Amino acid sequence: MIRINQIKLRPDQNEKSLEKIICDMLNIRFEDLVSWYICKKSIDARKNEVFYVYSVDIEVKEQKKLLSKIRNKNIHEIQKPSDIQPISYRPEKRPIIVGSGPTGLFCAMILAKCGAKPLILERGKKIEDRISDVDIFWEKGILDTESNIQFGEGGAGTFSDGKLNTLIKDKEGRGRYVLQEMVKAGAPKEILYLNKPHVGTDRLRAVIINMRKTIEKYGGEFSFSDKVTQIESNQSGISAVITTKGKYNSDVVIFAIGHSARDTFNMLNQHIYITPKPFSVGVRIEHPRNMIDFSQYGHAIDQYDLPSADYKMVHHCKNGRSVYTFCMCPGGIVTGASSEEKGVVTNGMSYYARNGENSNSALLVSVTPEDFGSDHPLSGVEFQRSMERKAFLAGGENYNAPAQLYKDFKTGIPSIGYGEVRPSYQPGVTLGDLHACLPDYVTSSLIEGIEAFGRKIKGFDRDDAIITGVETRSSSPVRLQRDDNMMSSLKGLYVAGEGSGYAGGIMSSAIEGIKVAEIITGGADK
């Protein structure tokens, strides 16, 4: 195929004009154009001008002859992407997948299509019931420790912005497979080409239900509210898992658990090698959405219907740590993401429209095992838990989160009132002093970072920006050690996804699920 990069259109230009631009750039007639599609679309708001920038993939008649005449560096030949084709795999004992987040779902999808009839064990509830439990927590502060933002069908990403971008290299096309399957399940087709695709929590929920139905159609089986509490092994390796509902025998078990499965980490620590790993902690910061939009687009927002703006920034502090924005939610809300009693955890979420009053992101500071105060494999878990419990106390011991205006956070004064920006956090906030919840090196790094980001985005360091804490679940605090075949130190027990410490976000986690399924079926090198 031929790929053309760097085609620019103004926001008021119709995408149908791309076909004429393609023909003009290749100097061909319309009838010589066999097919074309958008493979990437991004937005360029530099230099006080806004453009959509496209890359398109094209098939034309007499392609080799045409390419020999091309001298434009933005036009070149590419290999047509190949599709992932599951191969036949019918073991005597069906494989067991622990967890139904992105890793578990895509592992199950491949195994089911291979004919393996996998069993998916999920400690939380299916989406339909999980939504109700999360709503009760947000409205009344009543926490179900087994059905919440962290636990349940779809994993933690279900209640998020539904971002589908990833930084990992993907020559095998697994990422495109993930997007294609999600589109089949009802996600908007634009995720196939947007530079920063997102689904939104409202649409993602329906996508996950449809994926479950597809897996079941191919012979997969789900068991919800079924938590793994122990495993059994023999001389050959893993032999069974014990759950709250009974015992399941298998010699192939994939642990696709999330980054908050602390009790499961503790259980696995008795059987496989686990080490603490670096991660990040911090807060959520909120600004008016129109302020962020204007900072990125300028007066173009008055001319065009543009998507809510995002940002991504990093600052290297004088103390050697890094502060960065993470999981930015344009037009989104800050949410309660607790999974343990007497602990407050924040996260961010956007609906597909991204049209809320505020935009928010996590502001995170890097921490390492040297900060945890112990060399125990689960020392990072205790480090997180300590901050979450302090936040619970500071919030009023009712799952309200402690919040503070930036001007007060900067000076160490408890806040007593709001400015223009109002917090969106559910269940609710209690104004106070976040310094009581976080280590000094984290708060000082956050202040230095916010001041630096204020020089990049005007108003980022505004006095009345709302800071809500604490954000502790940015990634897994542990790494479940595995070999090149994604197998742990116990034969037959595979580990993959966010909870294993090798992935972060929906896309990379889903790709991990595909990879481990390919390894198990023997299709990894196909």
Query: Is 58 within the bounds of a domain?
Result: yes
Query: Is 69 within the bounds of a domain?
Result: yes
Do 346 and 382 lie in one domain? The reply is: yes
How large a percentage of the chain has pLDDT more than 70? Answer: 98
Query: Is 85 within the bounds of a domain?
Result: no
Do 354 and 465 lie in one domain? The reply is: yes
Query: Is 301 within the bounds of a domain?
Result: yes
The alpha helices in 95-187, defined as continuous H runs, are: 102-114, 127-140, 174-184
What pLDDT score does 171 carry? 66
Do 271 and 295 lie in one domain? The reply is: no
Do 328 and 409 lie in one domain? The reply is: yes
What pLDDT score does 172 carry? 76
Judge contact between 109 and 214, C-beta under 8 A: yes
Residue ending a domain, choose from 434, 449, 471:
471
Do 452 and 502 lie in one domain? The reply is: no
Q: Going edge to edge, which strands form the sheet with 96-98?
A: 221-224, 119-122, 96-98, 253-255, 493-495
Integer Rg of the chain from CA = 24
- Domain harbouring 16, CATH code: 3.30.70.2700
Q: pLDDT (tens digit, 9 = 90+) per residue, 257-300?
A: 999 999 999 999 999 999 999 999 999 999 999 999 999 999 99
Residue 82 predicted with pLDDT over 80 = no
Residue ending a domain, choose from 451, 471, 491:
471
Chain mean pLDDT for the chain: 95
Do 196 and 292 lie in one domain? The reply is: no
Query: Is 83 within the bounds of a domain?
Result: no
Residue 316 predicted with pLDDT over 80 = yes
Query: Is 292 within the bounds of a domain?
Result: yes
Do 453 and 338 lie in one domain? The reply is: yes
What pLDDT score does 526 carry? 41
Q: pLDDT (tens digit, 9 = 90+) per residue, 158-209?
A: 998 889 987 666 767 899 999 999 999 999 999 999 999 999 999 999 999 9
- Domain harbouring 144, CATH code: 3.50.50.60
Please provide the distance, in angstroms rounded to a whole number, between the alpha carbons at the two ends of the chain: 22
Q: pLDDT (tens digit, 9 = 90+) per residue, 435-485?
A: 999 999 999 999 999 999 999 999 999 999 999 999 999 999 999 999 999
Do 68 and 113 lie in one domain? The reply is: no
Residue 370 predicted with pLDDT over 60 = yes
* Rounded mean pLDDT, 71-81: 88
- Domain range for residue 300? 278-471
Decide: helix, strand or coil at residue 82: coil
Residues 6+ apart with CB under 8 A from 285: 360, 361, 363, 406, 450, 465, 466, 467, 468
Query: Is 89 within the bounds of a domain?
Result: no
Do 334 and 262 lie in one domain? The reply is: no
Do 269 and 310 lie in one domain? The reply is: no
Q: Facing residues of 281 across strands?
A: 365
Query: Is 84 within the bounds of a domain?
Result: no
Distances (CA, A) of 489 to 270, 418, 494: 11, 53, 9
Residue ending a domain, choose from 429, 454, 471:
471
The residue with tokens 């634009």 is 190
Do 63 and 107 lie in one domain? The reply is: no
Judge contact between 365 and 472, C-beta under 8 A: no
* Rounded mean pLDDT, 336-359: 97
Which helix (H) or strand (E) element contains residue 241?
strand 237-243
pTM for the model: 0.94
Count of domains for the chain: 3
Q: Facing residues of 515 across strands?
A: none
Residue 525 predicted with pLDDT over 70 = no
What distance in Å separates the CA atoms of residue 107 and residue 129, rounded to the nearest whole number?
A: 23
What pLDDT score does 442 carry? 98
What distance in Å separates the CA atoms of residue 110 and residue 117, rounded to the nearest whole number?
A: 10
Q: pLDDT (tens digit, 9 = 90+) per residue, 97-129?
A: 999 999 999 999 999 999 999 999 999 999 999
Confidence of residue 524 (pLDDT cuts 50, 70, 90): low
What distance in Å separates the CA atoms of residue 284 and residue 348, rounded to the nearest whole number?
A: 8
CB atoms within 10 A of CB 140: 11
What pLDDT score does 63 carry? 87
Do 458 and 420 lie in one domain? The reply is: yes
What is the crossing angle of helices 102-114 and 201-217, to 10°? 30
